[in-house]
Amino acid sequence: MARKLENEVALLDQYNEQLRKLIIQLSEADPQSGKKIQKEIDQRLEIYNKQFHLVHTEFPDSDVWQLHEAAFYTFQAGKKVFGSGFLRRVASKSGQNMAVGLASATIAHQQEKHAAREALTLLDKALSIFDYPGARFQKAQIYVALKQKEQALAELKYIIANFEDDEVYIGARQMKDEIETPPKKGMCFVATAAYGSPLAEEVVTLSRFRDDVLLRSKVGALFVALYYRASPPLASIIASNGFLKAATRKLFLAPVLRFLKFMRLDS
């Protein structure tokens, strides 16, 4: 009996991992290929649902099914938010680390808002079954995109206080820091896209140069204003392409940073 339970749980773990990878693929997919991935997620969710119910029925004394039932609703929530598009757009700008880029995320359409609310309901259902940090972190992501920063911080602080040994902890700390310390006087869009975070040392150096040097002169302030008009679309393209990120860092930003270091403007 113990051996059979072990095998059934191994199947649950396998289905869980398959779904996790599919959700990541959906977060990175374009809308067309995303539809195909969503269909595959639906199929895997049906199999996963049958499996944890089988474990619950055959092994009522085991509570292992609870985590998987909670994960089932979390995967459903992930499918809704990435399928609707708004977190997929953030992921394309930020890479797989969803802590980066959410501060400037915007839910543009009523359909996306509806999907976000449905996802939050699913995540609350997951947490009513089993309290685990993955569901809370996803809630925080959605709250930030909805511009509900206090609710997001509440979820992140809960993770930090109760799940310090979980892999989600680092992402929660980073997102909390970025929410509580927003970039001042606008973002360095291109640099943030190239280095992956507004808190990267290089971005901070460039931001300081903007604030302490460029904005103190009329010509510099005009340049900054023009930059803020032109750079967001360019930054979006750079952030979604690993080659462009590397090229921007090496060919454009690195020489500027070396010059600033030479001039001692980053000290």
Per-residue pLDDT of the chain (267 residues), as tens digits, is 688 889 999 999 999 999 999 998 888 788 788 889 999 999 999 999 999 999 999 998 888 889 899 999 999 999 998 887 655 555 444 444 444 444 444 555 677 888 889 999 999 999 999 998 999 999 998 898 788 889 999 999 999 999 998 888 988 888 888 788 665 555 577 888 888 877 778 888 888 888 788 888 888 888 888 887 778 778 878 877 888 888 898 888 988 888 888 776 444
Question: pTM here?
Answer: 0.65
Asked if residue 55 lies in contact with residue 74, where contact means CB atoms within 8 angstroms, the answer is no
Asked if residue 136 lies in contact with residue 159, where contact means CB atoms within 8 angstroms, the answer is yes
Asked if residue 107 lies in contact with residue 145, where contact means CB atoms within 8 angstroms, the answer is yes
Q: Can you give the residue ranges of every domain in the chain?
A: 2-180, 189-262
Q: Is 200 helix (H, G, I), strand (E, B) or coil?
A: coil
Cα-Cα-Cα-Cα dihedral of 219, 222, 226, 232, to 10°? Answer: 100
172 Cβ contact list (under 8 Å, min separation 6): 99, 133, 137, 140, 156, 159, 160, 163
Cα–Cα distance for residue pair 234/239, rounded to 1 Å: 9
Cα–Cα distance for residue pair 154/176, rounded to 1 Å: 9
As a CATH number, domain 2-180 is 1.25.40
Which residue reads 């996803």 in tokens? Answer: 138
